[in-house]
Amino acid sequence: MPNDPSPTARALRALEILRTRPTTTADELAERLGVTERAARRYVGILREAGIPVESARGPHGGYRLGRGMRLPPVHFTQAEALGLVMAALSGRPAVTDAADLVGAALGKVVKALPESVGRQAALLREYASAAPDPYAAHPDPAVTSSLVEAVAHRRRVLLTYRSESGNAWEEEADPWSLVVRHGRWYLLCHSHRADAVRTYRVDRVGEVRCTAQGFDPPLGFDPVAVLEENLGTGWQFATRVVFDAPPAEVAPWIRPPMGRLEPLGEGCVLVGSTRNPDMYAQEWLARVPFPFRIDGGEELRAAAAALAARFTAAVSDPRPCTPPSTD
C-alpha cells in the first residue's frame, strides 16, 4: 500500500478485507488499514454510499460483513445433482420447460452456466421431458410470498387482504407462524386476530401484505406440517361425522388429516370433521375407505353420498330391453 493512499484506495482496501473475512470488527478493520477506528467507520460509509451492502452486526462477536447480492460464490454441481434439480423442478412446476415461465427462465440460466460435461444431460432432460399439469397446484405471487417469509422470519404481525374460493374478500390481521407447501399448494399457517383462532390461508389467494412493527411469539416446539394437516379438517362450512365398523388402527391408514379427527367408538371408530365440498369428500375420500361405514352427521355429506350411490347403481343396472318396432 502507498505511504499516503487516497480515501478511495483505502475504501477499496476495506472492501477487499471484508471480502476475505466474513465478519470484521471496526478495530480489526482500522488495524489492517493503518487508521483510527473512526476513520475505518468513515471508509465503511464510503462503501455504503457507493451502493455496496455492508451490514453491521452488534454484540461481542459483531462487526461488519458484506450483505447478500455482493457476489455469488462459485457453485459446482455433479451430473446427478444437475439432473435431480431439473427433475425436482419438473415435478413441482410442469411449466418449467417454458422459457417464458419465471422458474423456467431461472432454471435455463442455471443449466446454461453448467460445464458441458455436467449440464448436457440436464439440458436434454429439460428440453425433451414433459410433465402433465397438476390441476390442484397453485403458484402464488413471488412478491406476496416474499413479504410473508420476511414476516415469518422476523416474527412481525401482518395486515393482509384475502379472497376465499367463493369470492368473499376481507382484511385480516394475523401472526404468521409458518409457510407450508402441501401437494402443490402454498399455505400460510397463522393465528388470526379476526377469528381469534388458528387459520390456514392459501397464499395464492392473499392480496396485499403489510408488515407491522408488532411482534409475536409462535408456539414453542410446534410442527408446522402437523398443525396444518390437523387444521385443514376443521372450521369448514359443512360438519361431517362418519362411523366405521372397524377399529381405529385399521381405519387410520385410510384417513387423511383434512378429513377430520378419528376417535374410538365402541368396537369401531368415528371420524369427526368438516368440509367445504361434500361432493369431493364423498367421491374422493370416503369412497376409497374399504370398511363399512355410515354417515351419522352432516346432511350435505349424506346427500352427496346418496347422489354418488345413485350414479353407481345406475351405472351397473341392466340395460332396458329394446322394444321391437311396430309392424303395423
- 35 three-state secondary structure: coil
Record the cell numbers describing residue 326, joined without a space: 311396430
- Considering only residues 320 and 128, tell me which one the structure prediction assigns the higher pLDDT: 128
Strands 268-275 and 261-265: antiparallel
Task: Take residue 251 and report the three cell numbers written for it.
Answer: 381405519
Q: Which pLDDT score, from 0 to 100, does residue 270 have?
A: 96
Q: Is it the case that residue 3 has pLDDT exceeding 60?
A: no
Which pLDDT score, from 0 to 100, does residue 321 have?
61
Q: What is the pLDDT of residue 142?
A: 86
pLDDT for 107-152, tens place per residue? 888 888 888 878 888 888 878 787 777 776 778 888 899 999 999 9
Q: Is the pLDDT at 250 greater than 90, yes or no?
A: yes
Among 281, 289, 288, CA closest to 307: 281
Which residue did the predictor score with more confidence, 91 or 43?
Answer: 43
What residue ranges in the chain does DSSP mark as E strands?
54-57, 63-66, 156-163, 169-182, 185-192, 197-202, 206-215, 238-244, 261-265, 268-275, 293-297
Residue-wise over 177-205: b if at least 16 C-beta within 10 A, else e? bbbbeeeebbbbbbbbbeeeebbbbbbbb
Q: Among residues of the chain, what percentage have pLDDT more than 90?
A: 37
pLDDT of residue 75: 63
Task: Check residue 204 and report its DSSP letter.
Answer: G
**pLDDT score of 229:** 78
* Strands (E) located in 122-233: 156-163, 169-182, 185-192, 197-202, 206-215
For residues 232 and 200, the answer to whether their CB atoms sit within 8 Å is yes
Per residue in 192-203, pLDDT tens?
A: 999 898 888 999
Across the range 81-102, mean pLDDT stands at 77
Q: Which residues contact 30 (CB under 8 A, 6 or more apart)?
A: 36, 37, 39, 40
Max distance between CA atoms of the chain, in angstroms, equals 123
Within a 10 A sphere around the Cβ of 206, how many other Cβ atoms?
A: 22
Confidence class for position 315, pLDDT limits 50, 70, 90? very high
Mean pLDDT for all residues in the chain: 85
Nearest to residue 162, comparing CAs of 206, 209, 202, 198?
206
pLDDT at site 72: 47
> pLDDT of 33-82, one tens digit each?
888 888 888 888 888 888 888 888 766 556 888 876 555 455 677 888 88
pLDDT value at residue 2: 44
Range picked from 32-46, 79-93, 266-280 for highest mean pLDDT = 266-280
Distance CA 33, CA 177 (A): 45
Residue 271 in contact with residue 258, Cβ under 8 Å? no
Q: Identify the residue whose cell numbers are 411469539.
A: 217
| Sequence-separated contacts (24+) of 116-122 with Cβ below 8 Å | 117/79, 118/77, 118/78, 118/79, 118/82, 119/77, 119/82, 121/79, 121/82, 121/83, 122/79, 122/82, 122/83, 122/85, 122/86
Which of 321, 265, 257, 315 has the alpha carbon at shortest distance from 294? Answer: 265
pLDDT at 232 over 90: no
Q: Is residue 261 over pLDDT 80? A: yes
Model confidence over 160-172: pLDDT tens digits? 999 987 788 999 9
Q: What is the pLDDT of residue 45?
A: 87
- Is pLDDT above 80 for 325? no
Q: Does position 211 have pLDDT exceeding 90, yes or no?
A: yes
